[in-house]
Structure 1
Amino acid sequence: MDTLLSLRVFAEVAEHKNFSAVAERLGLSPAMTSKHVKHVEARVGARLLNRNSRNVSLTEAGAQYLLTIRPLLDGLAEAEAQLTSDSLSPRGTLRMSMPAWMSTPAFSHILTAYHQQNPHVMFDVDLSGRKINMVEEGIDLALRVAFKLDEGLIARKLAEVTFQLVAAPAFLDRFGRPDTPEDLINAPLLAYSRVAADGRLKFGGENGLDLRLRPILVSSDENILHQAAVAGMGFAMLPNWSAQNDVKDGRLETVLPGIAWPKLHIQAIYPDRSYLPAKVRSFLDFLAGPDGFSAFLT
């Protein structure tokens, strides 16, 4: 059998977790698709996929093998693409993971502007906020602000995000409007679980602020924290662009606006590949360009 084709079939099945869909995508029969995967398993002497009538998943050996061969397949595809007339035209599905608070009209305009320039790229966006395995799940790109970089991944800084403490006017009428940071001690906090699940707001180094608030709602979904703040439940630390319309329209107020609240970088995270697919490289360049985050954050 064609071993190179077998490797490509295995990678497709591993990332899409569906033999039938890959067979149709590659113009193969389901039986031949299965034979290609078995051919790879026979060559390496290990089971790479768990499969039953409903599910397909990578074994531990399969995940490691995919991590090894994916850069090789992508590099070969990139080299082949450079010899074709459409090598500069990104295409295919760009699978992306990003925080729920980026789900705004402004970011939708970025996606629209990119798609108008690159009509052959389709987006598949995950907003679950959960921890992902980029290789096993076939994620091309993740946008994150606070994260721990896993082995085998690289990051590119795209933009700086300023956060601000906000609360609803009706809540502040009841609680009182803080005059100093110390007025926030033990105040009710709507806490992002991956940063301040214990209610502690610490930033600015040794001479910065270290405050302990009282968490009353903890979640990894920024949208529920945002909506609870608008509803008047407590204080929330939100990105400027997420809160700015509610502040402008009077649904939220900035709290202690003179404080230098945290500034963090939006980073693009992707597998460490020698050759990035054109769809990923072009979208990264777009995000870093004048029509990307620089327009988004104004």
Structure 2
Amino acid sequence: MAWWKAWIEQKGVSVKSSPHFNPDPDAETLYKAMKGIGTNEQAIIDVLTQRSNAQRQQIAKSFKAQFGKDLTETLKSELSSNFERLIIALMYPPYGYEAKELYDAMKGLGTREGVIIEILASRTKNQLQEIMKAYEEDYGSSLEEDIQADTSGYLERILVCLLQGSRDDLCGFVDPGLALQDAQCLRNMRKSPARALRTASRVRPTAHWRRPCSQWGAGTHDGTLIRNIVSRSEIDLNFIKCQFKEMYGKTLSSMIMEDTSSDYKNALLNLVGSDP
């Protein structure tokens, strides 16, 4: 059973580790791409979208060791707009990125409930434990307590139950009907966070058939697009692409080409990979 699960997981991955990887020349390439006047965005795309997250972390360490600078901060100073958001998202450790998204959804005035629902209702118990650990390490507070402070009523109770591991991880079971509802629900998340919660709370944690963007044609939700592509690229994005095409009659890459542009578009297409 273990080999079968590993094979399935590998089939779903759109971004794999680069063979014969060496972080030092990659770090040097990134340094040269940002040195002096102007930035070689394509060089940044070629390196960071074609390496696994673990490899990106090694590149960041090499960059610091060779040039005495923090790679993420250097990228922030050189890039802008959605392209910057995407590239910086790639530089977070997986659970650190999701912790950041949850923190950003709760800080300041108002709470972006849809983001919280999307993340917490679609992760396994072990993943949620790692996210909670990263959240406390990065922000010095309890994710559960912060959610309790920012939500109330039925929504609060459901989210706290999810964090406490009250739902079973029924690994290997996918209910196509619930998965379809989940993808449609994410599409309409802006209209009804409550409906998103009702649907996502019934979906098995392994049924990640998500549409990585909502409301195509009515203005792309870049935050949702970035979050889902980055977080699923090393898990099951290839499966999501197949479900996307079946549901909407177009490939995910074709929609990205229509709704995004420039370096942002090129980086997204690299992460998504070839069409199913």
TM-score range, shorter chain: under 0.3
Question: Structure 1 or 2: larger helix share?
Answer: 2
Question: Structure 1 or 2: larger strand share?
Answer: 1
Q: Quick check: which has more Rg, 1 or 2?
A: 1
